[in-house]
Amino acid sequence: MSLLDKLDAVAAARKALLPEGLDVFGMPIEEVYSATEARVGDRRILFLGTNNYLGLTFAPECLKAAHEAIDREGTGTTGSRMANGSYSGHRALEREFADFYQCHSGIVFTTGYQANLAMISGLAGAGDVVLIDGDSHASIYDGCRLSGAEIIRFRHNDVADMEKRLRRLGERSQSTLIVAEGIYSMLGDQAPLAEIVRVKNAYNSILLLDEAHSLGVLGKTGQGLVEETGLIDGVDFITGTFSKSLGSIGGYCVSNHPQLDQLRYISRPYIFTASPSPATIASTRAALKLLRDGTELRRQLWQNSRQLYARLDALGYQLGPQPGPVIANILDSPQQALMLWKGLLDHGIYVNLILPPAAPEGKALVRCSVSAAHTSEQMDYVGNVFAELRASIFQ
């Protein structure tokens, strides 16, 4: 088989699965009207498949900051953080993230993916161990592979299984990096952080927590699961992204370990990529202030999330284990999931379709992502459409 033959096989599998004329993965959005509405083709649709949890993509403060940054500093840095790409705004945002978490220091990365890639590959190396949840995001898996460390998986959110694997490592547990997520992106469930911290401390390991989907969502000021549980002192490194609650693109890491700053000089994903644009940094700084003061936004987000979760649960859909802004409908087959996805789109609702191997345990998911910007009436409409499709598809 040539290098290109395997791509032909992918194309054939995709064509067999997807309906004619529909680009399920990467469907073009022609025009965006607001944080919750857009146009696909000639149809106005309701966004229920973004990660815009606080609805800040059109916040006037963020737009103003981005416009001013473009006028002042141009459209891009055209260089890496190690060359000409560290503007004063990048350093300011790092300090603001450290202050937000009341940590010693912070680092800003070009994407959230690169934050995990950089931190895992920078902390762990040959001879070390990375112990990860089986449902970890691809950025965590890829960071492990780049590190050259031994990769060990434990069953999803199963702390007993995690501890069993640490125990088997003996003294190597002290050179083990444990990686977990605040909210897992597939099913929307939270990590059992208290138990993870207890075990991590018992075995003298290091813990990295990815707060990508929990930043802005959990905690009084939106720090994430570390604030919700009061366990920030038990977590060694916190990573996250700008592309969800902060409404832009980029990533970060904060820590009380003074060694964090040295990761800049050995982390290939940090060294060998261009830095975030001035507009991105400026809008993110504005969004971080809104997030920190966003008590009402979080209240609205959780009200919407609980409303939709309760409605779908009452309709008999198989859902993730707990309410939250990520609401996963678990289907037995890709064909069933595709029918539900297309039915929702036909009613003007855009959600995410997730198929194996991305979906856990060989299932398929139709995943909704709720925003604080959604109205109660929009949630009612979504629930009514799910009810109609339940009757027609799952008779």
Cα–Cα distance between 138 and 269 in angstroms, integer?
A: 15
- Greatest mean pLDDT among 27-41, 201-215, 329-343 lies in 201-215
Q: Using alpha carbons, select from 316, 318, 294 the residue that is nearest to residue 391.
A: 316
CB-neighbour burial class of residue 314 (10 A; exposed 0-12, middle 13-18, buried 19+):
exposed
Whether the CA torsion 380, 381, 386, 390 is positive or negative: it is positive
Task: Report the CATH number of the 60-292 domain.
Answer: 3.40.640.10
pLDDT-derived band at 135 (thresholds 50, 70, 90) equals very high
Cα–Cα distance between 247 and 79 in angstroms, integer?
A: 23
How large is the average pLDDT for residues 153-168?
A: 98
Domain 12-47+295-393 class? alpha beta
Q: What are the helix (H) ranges across the chain?
A: 5-17, 60-73, 88-101, 112-123, 138-147, 159-169, 193-202, 225-229, 268-271, 278-292, 295-315, 334-346, 376-393
Angle between helices 295-315 and 376-393 (to 10 degrees): 20
How large is the average pLDDT for residues 349-364?
A: 87
What is the per-residue pLDDT for 242? 99
Of 253 and 333, the one with more pLDDT: 253
**Strand partners for 43:** 40
How large is the average pLDDT for residues 315-337?
A: 94
Residue at 110: amino acid letter? T
Q: Using alpha carbons, select from 172, 177, 173 the residue that is nearest to residue 146.
A: 177
Residue 127 above 90 pLDDT?
A: yes
How large is the average pLDDT for residues 348-363?
A: 87
- Residues with Cβ within 8 Å of 255's Cβ and at least 6 positions away in sequence, in order, are 103, 104, 105, 106, 236, 237, 238
User: pLDDT for 217-245, tens place per residue?
Assistant: 999 999 999 999 999 999 999 999 999 99
User: pLDDT for 366-395, tens place per residue?
Assistant: 999 999 999 999 999 999 999 999 988 876
Residue 3 above 90 pLDDT?
A: no
What is the per-residue pLDDT for 21? 63
Cα–Cα distance between 267 and 80 in angstroms, integer?
A: 12
pLDDT-derived band at 207 (thresholds 50, 70, 90) equals very high
What is the per-residue pLDDT for 41? 87
Q: Using alpha carbons, select from 197, 223, 214 the residue that is nearest to residue 102.
A: 223
pTM across the whole model: 0.96
> Torsions phi, psi of 285, nearest 5?
-65, -40
Task: Give the angle 283-251-195 at the CA atoms, nearest 5°.
Answer: 125
How large is the average pLDDT for residues 340-365?
A: 90
pLDDT-derived band at 19 (thresholds 50, 70, 90) equals low
CATH 3.90.1150.10 placement within the chain: 12-47+295-393
Are 40 and 375 a contacting pair, CB within 8 Å? Answer: no
CATH 3.40.640.10 placement within the chain: 60-292
